[in-house]
Amino acid sequence: MSADDKNRQEIIRLTLSDSPMPDIQIDGMPEFAPGWVWLAGAGPGDPGLLTLHAVNALKQADKVVYDALVSEDILSLVRPDAELFYAGKRGGKPSWNQQDVTNKLIELAKTGHRVLRLKGGDPFVFGRGGEEAQALVAADIPFRMIPGISAGVGGLGYAGIPATHRDVNHAVTFVTGHLAGKGQAELLDWASIAKASPVIVIYMAMSRLAVIAELLLQAGRSSDEPVAIVTHATTARQRIAMGRLAEAAKLAETHTLEPPSIIVIGEVVNLAETLHWFGDKPL
Ligand code: SAH
C-alpha cells in the first residue's frame, strides 16, 4: 500500500442522533476506509467516557475485535451488521493468544474490512496496543490509534481520588502488579518506586497485593499509609474500599473485592472522603 493510500482517509460528519442526547453533529471526523485497522480505547467502562473518535469508529467498523473489559453497553453501539470477535479470556476454555489476535486483525484487514480493535482503558497503557500496532506495521496494514481514558486516571476520578494534588504529590507512578509474583519481584525496582513516587497506582495487582505491600513496607513506606481499592470503576458495580498499607491484602478479602480493580497508595486517597461523588460511599 502506498503512502498516498495510507493517507486516503476522508473527513466525515459524526451524528449522534440515536442517543437520548440532543442531536450533535461534528464535522471533520475521519472516514474508516476498508483495509484499515483502528486500535481504540473504550475507557474504563462507563460508555460516557468513550471519545468521539471511538464512537465514530464503532459507527463505521464492520469487524470488531474486543477484549473482556469492554462493556456490553459499549458494544451495543456497533453497527447492527458488524461482526464481533471476542479476544479475551474465557473462564477455563481456550482463549486467543496475542499471535491469534494479531493474525485475526491482519486477516480481516487484508480481506478489505474496517477492523476496530477495541480495548479497555487506553490501548497503550498495559494493553499490548503497542505490540499490535507493531504487528500491523510489519504486515503493512494502515492503522489509526485512538487513545482512551485509562482506568488509573478515569477510575480514580470516579472514586474522588485525584491522581495528583498540589499539596500532596508532584509525581505519580503507574505500575503493573503482574510482575510482583514469586521470582518476579526483582523485575521491577519496587524500592525505587517507593522512594520516588508519593502516589502509586497499580494495575492488575489483586492477586499480588500482599507481596506488593510487603515490598513497599520494606522500602520504607509507612504501614499507616492510605490505600484504596477501586473495583469496577465508573460502572454501576463500582465499589471503593479504603484502608492502610499494612492491611491492603486483608482489605480486598474483607470486602470480597475482585478484578478488575485499581489500587492507589498515597495520601491522595484521603481526598475520597470529601471528593467521593459516584456510587456507594467508600467502605
Ligand atoms: N489498558 C487498560 C488496562 C488494561 S490492564 C487501561 O488503560 O485502563 C487490566 C487492568 O486494568 C485491571 O486488572 C485493572 O487493574 C485495571 N482496570 C481496567 N478497567 C478497570 C475498571 N473499570 N475498574 C478498576 N480497574 C480497572
Does 127 contact ligand 1 (Cβ within 6 A)? yes
**DSSP-assigned letter for residue 131:** H
User: Cell match 482463549: residue?
Assistant: 95
Regarding the beta carbon of 125 and ligand 1, being less than 6 Å apart is answered yes
CA of 93 to the centre of ligand 1 (A): 22
* 21 is known as an active-site residue: no
CA-proximal residue: ligand 1, atom 11 (nearest): 203
Q: Where are the beta strands (DSSP E) in the chain?
A: 11-15, 25-30, 37-41, 63-66, 83-86, 115-119, 143-146, 172-176, 199-203, 226-231, 239-244, 261-265
Give the pLDDT of residue 133. 97
Ligand 1 midpoint to CA 79 (Å): 26
pLDDT of residue 180: 66
89 catalytic? Reply is yes
pLDDT digits (tens, 9 = 90+) for 199-246: 999 999 888 899 999 999 999 999 999 999 999 999 999 999 999 999
pTM: 0.92
Cα–ligand 1 centroid distance for 120 (angstroms): 7
Sign of torsion over alpha carbons 243, 249, 250, 253: positive
pLDDT tens digits for range 1-21: 555 555 555 677 887 766 666
Catalytic residue among 29, 145, 204, 206: 204
Would you call 170 exposed, middle or buried from its count of C-beta atoms within 10 A (0-12, 13-18, 19+)? Answer: exposed
CATH 1.10.760.10 fits 152-275, yes or no: no
Q: Which CATH architecture has domain 3-149?
A: 3-Layer(aba) Sandwich (3.40)
Residues 6+ apart with CB under 8 A from 102: 131, 132, 135, 136
What are the residue boundaries of the structural domains of the chain, listed by start?
Answer: 3-149, 152-275
Q: Which of 35, 97, 41, 102 is nearest to 62 (CA)?
A: 35
Query: Is residue 180 within 8 Å of 211, Cβ to Cβ?
Result: yes
The span from the CA of 61 to the CA of 127, in Å, is 21
Q: Which residues of the chain have pLDDT under 70?
A: 1-10, 17-23, 90-94, 180-186
Ligand 1 in reach of 44 Cβ (< 6 A)? yes
Q: Does 189 qualify as catalytic in the annotation?
A: no
The residue with cell 480493580 is 261
Q: Residue 159: phi, psi to the nearest 5? A: -95, 0
What is the phi/psi pair of residue 230, to 5°? Answer: -115, 115
Q: N- to C-terminal Cα distance for the chain?
A: 55
